Amino acid sequence: MPKAAVPSDFLKRFRALVKEGRRFLVASHVRPDGDAYGSTLALTLSLRKAGKTATAWNPDGLSERFAWLPGAAGFAGPKLPQGPWDVRIVVDTASPDRVGDFPLASDPASPVVNLDHHGSNPGFGDCVWVDAARAACGEMVFDLLREADLPVDRDIASCLFVAISTDTGSFRFSNTRAATLRAAAELLDAGAEAGELSRMIWENEPARRLAFLREILPTARFEEGGKVGLLWIRSEAYARSGAQPEDTEGVIDFVRSVAGVVVGLVFEEAPGEIVRVSFRSKDPRVDVAKLAVRFGGGGHAAAAGARISGAPAAVEREVLAAVKAAL
Ligand SMILES: [Mn+2]
């Protein structure tokens, strides 16, 4: 383990909160991904193993896609469980408006811990550690558990492996650092099974996802001489295929994976004249977090998102103009 990966002020405060607190609520962002669920569950399981009462909660509840994760059985949401909480922990969440009904109001009796790897995180909460160099929040949770002397057993290691594996696209994306692979190796030492977990993550799609892909792949288009690849998810694609919002995970890879594409975009129609836009960049010189922030969203340099008000055609035009200027 790299010595003192966790900032000492944060670690000191966190250790004190864990020592004094009894009831913990751990939460993450809406439309949770593997890092959100894995980081939430790893912290929850570890706190429980340390003798605390800990509840994992998400504004979207537990998705079917991750229902096999260790500890998932007691997962709470969308309804917020009954408090009070001595400590409220938010993981992998770029901004406070992404945790639904999670109570973030300042309360000295219930400090908020903000643990995240999104560079656009404004640093909300009372005990904050944001490190944009980290591939996944799960990497930070792993360091934190070890340095705070909290348990990491096979189940916890498995949740953390899932967190890191999903946010790095199975260790393919440019956010994968030597330290990321070292953390993954240590998680295998702690009992995580790479083959089995990877199969559950990447080869466990519901059949309806193929029907969903049949609906959306015909919308694929290329702009700017092939440097921009985009897809549309029209609202009727869900009804026609029986897909769930979680089935959109990774569809952006179909345009991103094409040779010559620098920026991949997915536009998704949402209720109330809103378009959800996902951005991916394959070139470190094109920072899509900056683009997303301009449209009221956020994220990482290589992967970001925003919810934009407006008619679909108008939103597409504005986003393409901004992407073109950034290329
Ligand atoms: Mn993440």
Query: Which tens digits make up the pLDDT trace of 47-74?
Result: 999 999 999 999 999 998 999 999 999 9
Is pTM beyond 0.85? Reply is yes
The answer, yes or no, to whether residue 172 has pLDDT greater than 60, is: yes
Angle, CA 153 vertex, CA 151 and CA 156 arms, to 5°: 90
Between the CA of 91 and the centroid of ligand 1 the distance, in Å, is 8
The DSSP secondary structure of 83-148, one letter per residue, reads ---SEEEEES-SSGGGSTT---S--TTSPEEEEE--TT----SSEEEE-TT-S-HHHHHHHHHHHT
Write down the pLDDT at residue 246. 85
| Token output for 274 | 């809103």
Alpha carbons 284 and 213: distance in angstroms, whole number: 29
Query: Which tens digits make up the pLDDT trace of 126-138?
Result: 999 999 999 999 9
Query: What does pLDDT average to over the chain?
Result: 96
The whole-number average pLDDT for the span 250-266 is: 96
Between the CA of 139 and the centroid of ligand 1 the distance, in Å, is 10
The whole-number average pLDDT for the span 247-257 is: 94
pLDDT band at 4 (very low <50, low <70, confident <90, very high): confident
Write down the pLDDT at residue 3. 63
- Helix axes 154-167 and 178-189, enclosed angle (nearest 10): 150
149, 6 in Cβ contact below 8 A? no
3-state class percentages of the chain: helix first, strand second, coil last, to nearest 5: 40, 20, 40
Write down the pLDDT at residue 245. 86
Between the CA of 51 and the centroid of ligand 1 the distance, in Å, is 27
The whole-number average pLDDT for the span 111-136 is: 96
Alpha carbons 27 and 105: distance in angstroms, whole number: 15
The whole-number average pLDDT for the span 15-24 is: 98
CATH of domain 208-326: 3.10.310.30
Between the CA of 240 and the centroid of ligand 1 the distance, in Å, is 30
The whole-number average pLDDT for the span 108-114 is: 97
Between the CA of 35 and the centroid of ligand 1 the distance, in Å, is 5
Write down the pLDDT at residue 62. 95
What is the CATH T-level fold of the domain 8-202, as seen in this structure?
inorganic pyrophosphatase (n-terminal core) (3.90.1640)
Between the CA of 84 and the centroid of ligand 1 the distance, in Å, is 27
Tell me the three state secondary structure of residue 58: coil
